[in-house]
């Protein structure tokens, strides 16, 4: 299998010129499990680890290779093992705030063309969660597709409610209702999964990401587990991010279900997925309008005359506030890290004198 079949196109060929070693061995990261990696070079999947130098020079966990990244590697042990030396620039990136109080990003997957955002029709459907996933995708330059799973567990009214909630929220991305159990709607998804393109499954634990992957593979290649009886939540069965090349040539990344979906510094993603609200915000009289009380606020005017729904207005402001707040702390943290780096360098220099 040539590298092109794994998605290495003109864009990456061009970007390779920016690397420290443009002529290195290129490969794609296919699995990440803490500090151990798998890479594919078109011929074989090989175990890999990070070069000490790469680890030493990163400023943030976002700079670490993630599943889907293109990397430069050096082979050892007769091509049975590789060391990752460099990460290619990314065409697109799904990332999220690391969980807990730290303000940093974590790579979910890189160089993804389409994100399949899964919610199950029975219990998991939540319009605000959906909005967060959309922000994440749009912010990362990834095309979203909404996939509503476990159609077999939902009644006609449930499906109608989901459709109308999505419409009311002004969400216009393509959507599919499927049942992996009954193999219903899976072909429709398959038909949009073009060879050479990379897809990523996103969604809470238990919505049926891995079950869908197994369906597309044709057998139960990966573990799945019943959701919990008492609250219908998943059991966090999948623990590593993994890229599978499907037999018709499309690639699909399965991910562990996410507990938290913080949006730091995702202003672009928010403006992209709330385009009409963002356009209105551009028309406010004051550039620093808070859209809550000012005269000449275009958002408030649109809210008043019904062009913008209250739900949409509130989601937009909430996500913006969260994103801006974290952006500020993130910028501060980066600056501190940088200052600290400079300080270490000066100390080292002085020691050498």
What's the rounded Cα separation, in Å, for the pair 87 and 274? 32
Secondary structure class of 290 (helix, strand, coil): coil
Q: How far is the CB of 239 from Zn ion (least distance, A)?
A: 44
Give dist(CA 189, CA 116) in Å, integer: 9
- DSSP code per residue over 169-192: TT--S-EEE-BTTTTBSHHHHHHH
C-beta of 216 vs 289, nearer to ligand GTP: 216
Can residue 291 be called a binding residue for Zn ion (CB under 5 A)? yes
Nearer to Zn ion, 174 or 296 (CB): 296
The site partner of 119 among Zn ion, Mg ion, ligand GTP, none (C-beta below 5 to 8 Å per kind) is: none
If one asks whether residue 185 binds ligand GTP (CB under 6 A), the answer comes out as: no
Q: Which of residues 121-180 bind ligand GTP (CB under 6 A)?
A: 149-150, 152-153, 179-180
**Residue among 289 and 308 whose Cβ is closer to Zn ion:** 289
210 is a site residue for Mg ion (CB under 5 A): yes
Q: How many residues bind Mg ion (CB under 5 A)?
A: 4
The encoded tokens of residue 82 equal: 């590789």
Place of tokens 């890479």: 39
Q: Which position among 202, 227, 277, 284 is part of the footprint of Zn ion (CB under 5 A)?
A: 284
Q: Which does 89 bind (CB under 5 to 8 A by kind): ligand GTP, Zn ion, Mg ion, none?
A: none
As measured in angstroms, the least distance from the Cβ of 263 to ligand GTP is 20
Among 123, 178, 250, 299, binds Zn ion (CB under 5 A): 299
> Min. distance of Cβ 215 from ligand GTP in angstroms?
8
Nearer to ligand GTP, 26 or 151 (CB): 151
Residues 6+ apart with CB under 8 A from 282: 298
The helix/strand/coil state of 7 is coil
- Interface characters, 237-266, with ligand GTP (x: CB under 6 A): xx-----------------xx---------
Examine residue 216 and tell whether it contacts Zn ion (CB under 5 A).
no
- Which span sits near Mg ion by CB under 5 A: 43-51, 95-103, 135-143, 230-238? 230-238
- Rank residues 84 and 207 by Cβ distance to Mg ion and give the closer one: 207
13 three-class SS:
helix
Nearest to 71 by CA among 52, 57, 89: 89
Of 93, 79, 91, 11, nearest to 39 by C-alpha is 79
Write out the two tokens for 127. Answer: 């319009």
Q: What is the largest CA-CA distance in the chain?
A: 77
How large is the angle between the packed helices 127-139 and 310-352, nearest 10 degrees? 40
| 27 vs 207, beta carbon nearer Mg ion | 207
Nearer to ligand GTP, 240 or 333 (CB): 240
Of the candidates 278, 271, 299, which has an alpha carbon nearest to the alpha carbon of residue 134?
271
Start-end of H helices in the chain: 10-15, 52-57, 127-139, 156-168, 186-192, 209-217, 267-273, 275-281, 298-304, 310-352
Using CB under 5 A, list all residues that contact Zn ion. 284, 289, 291, 297, 299
Using CB under 6 A, list all residues that contact ligand GTP. 149-150, 152-153, 179-181, 205-211, 224-227, 234-238, 256-257
């Amino acid at each position: 299998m040539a590298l092109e079949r794994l998605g290495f196109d003109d864009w990456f060929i061009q970007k390779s010129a920016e690397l420290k070693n443009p002529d290195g061995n290129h490969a794609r990261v296919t699995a990440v499990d803490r500090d151990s990696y798998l890479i594919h070079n078109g011929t074989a999947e090989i175990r890999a680890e990070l070069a000490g130098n790469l680890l030493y020079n990163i400023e943030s966990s976002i700079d670490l290779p993630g599943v889907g990244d293109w990397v430069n590697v050096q082979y050892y042990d007769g091509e049975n093992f590789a060391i990752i030396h460099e990460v290619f620039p990314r065409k697109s990136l799904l990332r999220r705030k690391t969980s807990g109080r730290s303000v940093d990003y974590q790579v979910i997957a890189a160089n993804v063309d389409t994100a399949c955002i899964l919610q199950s029709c029975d219990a998991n459907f939540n319009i605000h969660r959906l909005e967060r996933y959309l922000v994440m995708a749009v912010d990362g330059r990834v095309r979203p597709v909404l996939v509503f799973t476990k159609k077999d567990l939902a009644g006609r009214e449930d499906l109608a409610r989901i459709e109308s909630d999505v419409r009311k929220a002004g969400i216009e991305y393509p959507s599919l209702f499927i049942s992996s159990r009954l193999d219903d709607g899976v072909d429709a998804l398959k038909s949009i999964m073009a060879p050479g393109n990379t897809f990523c499954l996103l969604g809470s634990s238990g919505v049926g990401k891995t079950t869908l992957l197994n369906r597309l593979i044709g057998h139960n290649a990966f573990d799945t587990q019943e959701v919990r009886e008492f609250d219908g939540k998943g059991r966090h069965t999948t623990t590593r991010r993994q890229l599978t090349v499907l037999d018709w040539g499309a690639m699909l990344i399965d991910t562990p279900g996410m507990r938290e979906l913080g949006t730091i510094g995702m202003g672009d993603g928010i403006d992209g997925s709330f385009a009409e609200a963002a356009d209105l915000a551009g028309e406010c009289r004051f550039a620093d309008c808070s859209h809550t009380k000012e005269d000449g606020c275009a958002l408030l005017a649109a809210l008043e005359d019904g062009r913008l729904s209250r739900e949409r207005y509130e989601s937009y402001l909430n996500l913006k506030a969260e994103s801006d707040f974290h952006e500020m702390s993130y910028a501060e943290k980066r600056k501190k890290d940088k200052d600290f780096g400079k300080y270490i360098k000066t100390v080292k220099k002085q020691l050498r004198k």
